[in-house]
Structure 1
Amino acid sequence: MNQRFFDVSNSVQRGLGSAHPFESSAQPGSGARANGALEAKATRMHTLGRLRGKHFFTPVMADTAMDVMLSLFVGELQSSTVSDTALAVGNLLNREETDAIIDRLVQAGLAVVTAQEPDRRTVGLTPLGSARMRSFVSDYPDV
């Protein structure tokens, strides 16, 4: 059984909630298939990006802002809220790096903070950020 992209295997042990089975939020039809294919491709690109550290000693192919954008895009396609903690864990970043990237993306108009609490915030893509990621993932060579 597939799990949602942001589920962490030990999330239950850490008290962060339980794993949720993958559920597509799209409606039946060609639009649903397109969104499903787009989601699968974005998830695969993100997974490959996380593995590139095993193959490259320097961050030749690393762009953490793009990784965070891919994470936010997958979250959007899954109709999931994405917390800064999930972004940090999913992209192997520390808290300061995550906060700095989120702030830069917000300043660029690509992301928006959707909820703010003392110990966490949730983040999503703006319409501009979503459109750019949809275009980027659609145009990216098959992976």
Structure 2
Amino acid sequence: MAIEWIVAYLALGGVVGFVAGLLGIGGGSLTVPFLTWCNVRIQQAIGTSAAVGLPIALSGALGYMINGWSTAGMPAYTLGYVSVPAVVLISAVSFFTAPYGARLAHRLPVATLKKIFAALLLVLSLKMLQTVFTA
């Protein structure tokens, strides 16, 4: 692989991580459409997105921990702005449900999978707009 491609992928990953962090969304909502635009099968795009989502989530969580570390009056069991019980519960549920999601992604027709993902992005967009206009 040429060094130019490596630099391009690193830059793209940085942009996806930065935008995802600013918007407070998972990187998958940006990674999956990009990968499908690059002619990657949607099932592979979803799997790749899940894999790259881990470093995006870890860096985002670390940022929230560092920024909230000295904030007074935080609830019990938090590290900065990160709730430890929420992390444990979300991780546990994800651990048990991820295999079902992977199987479902491979069983559904591609057109149906794309429609579900588009609907998810639409709901996410509406939620973001609601937050902007009600703040």
TM-score above 0.5: no
Length-normalised TM-score, structure 2: 0.30
Length-normalised TM-score, structure 1: 0.29
User: Greater helix share, 1 or 2?
Assistant: 2
Instruction: Tell me which of the two structures has the higher relative contact order, counting C-alpha pairs closer than 8 angstroms and 6 or more residues apart.
Output: 1
User: Greater strand share, 1 or 2?
Assistant: 1
